Amino acid sequence: MTVPRIVAAAPTGPADAPLLVLGPSLGTSAIVWDAAAARLRTRFRTLQWELPGHGTGPAARESFTVAELAEGVIRLLDELGETRVSYAGVSLGGAVGLEVLLAHRDRVDAAAIVCSGAVIGTPAAWAERAAMVRASGTGSVVVASAQRWFAPESMSRAPEITGRLLNSLRDADAESYALCCEALARYDVRGRLAEIAAPVLTVWGEFDEVTPEASSVEVAVGVADGRSAEVVAAGHLAPAEQPDDVARVLSDFLEEER
């Protein structure tokens, strides 16, 4: 097993509040959660972890799976002495959350799987993108990612955060990004959803074409205790595009399950 080292800034929020772990999307960094996390900290401590080679995450040079990313998150929690947490992850971060729920059901009270699914994309498409990035760097996928990530008005409505997210993609380590693509190519937990017992909220963005409503509903229906919610005027990065709505939906769900 190759378990990538997962890092995060120290948790932020009230010292006696429950911990909410926040996972990022491929090509972004922990900043994808910044605005929503600021709102969530009225009720939670938040921990925003980084993917390998993204943000402050150390670069990876060995192949890994999404399940091994999940093990990296668990090792981070072990280092921090955190035994039980709530979890929310967007896209690849949501896939990691499902793997955590499958392998460590005693560690998560409830989870929100945001703009994600039990399978994402196709192996061929991920292989093609990994090859492109290895050949030409992450800058080669910035334009296409901007089209995939955001709702039609998001870049004009929130130019600062959308610009920062695209810069985080440009700055990501190319090999680490490619290895994440290859992990997603092998990821498919559709046949195991019924094993997940913890309460799960799935969230989709109105304009998300990467993981649309069907992806979200498939998870909500497949787990033992699932429900789903839409975030309007959002694409694939709903926590950055509509932080107020995402924070409200997550807070209501997690408070109900505490």
Residue in this structure with the two tokens 């709530």, named with its chain if needed: 86
Parallel, antiparallel or unpaired: strands 45-50 and 85-90:
unpaired
**Residue 257 pLDDT:** 78
Looking at the domain assignment, is residue 1 inside a domain?
A: no
Distance between CA atoms of residues 66 and 146, nearest Å: 24
Looking at the domain assignment, is residue 2 inside a domain?
A: no
Confidence check: pLDDT of 45 > 90: yes
**Amino acid symbol at 235:** G
3-state secondary structure (DSSP) of residue 164: helix
Q: pLDDT of 130-164, one tens digit each? A: 999 999 999 999 999 999 999 999 999 999 999 99
Sequence-ordered alpha helix ranges (H) in the chain:
34-40, 66-80, 92-103, 123-136, 142-149, 154-157, 159-171, 174-185, 213-222, 238-241, 243-257
Q: pLDDT of 183-215, one tens digit each? A: 999 999 999 999 999 999 999 999 999 999 999
Confidence check: pLDDT of 250 > 90: yes
Domain total in the chain = 1
**Residue 125 pLDDT:** 98
* pLDDT, mean of residues 223-244: 98
Looking at the domain assignment, is residue 31 inside a domain?
A: yes
Confidence check: pLDDT of 258 > 80: no
Cβ burial of 34 (10 Å; 0-12, 13-18, 19+) is middle
Give me the chain's average pLDDT, please.
97
> Domain holding 149: CATH number?
3.40.50.1820
- Partnered with residue 85 across adjacent β-strands are 108
Looking at the domain assignment, is residue 170 inside a domain?
A: yes
Looking at the domain assignment, is residue 202 inside a domain?
A: yes
Q: pLDDT of 101-136, one tens digit each? A: 999 999 999 999 999 999 999 999 999 999 999 999
3-state secondary structure (DSSP) of residue 203: strand
* pLDDT, mean of residues 19-47: 97
Q: pLDDT of 69-108, one tens digit each? A: 999 999 999 999 999 999 999 999 999 999 999 999 999 9
* pLDDT, mean of residues 166-171: 97
**Residue 122 pLDDT:** 98
**Amino acid symbol at 43:** R
* pLDDT, mean of residues 10-32: 97
Residues of the chain with pLDDT > 70, as a percent, come to 100
Range of the domain at 114: 7-257
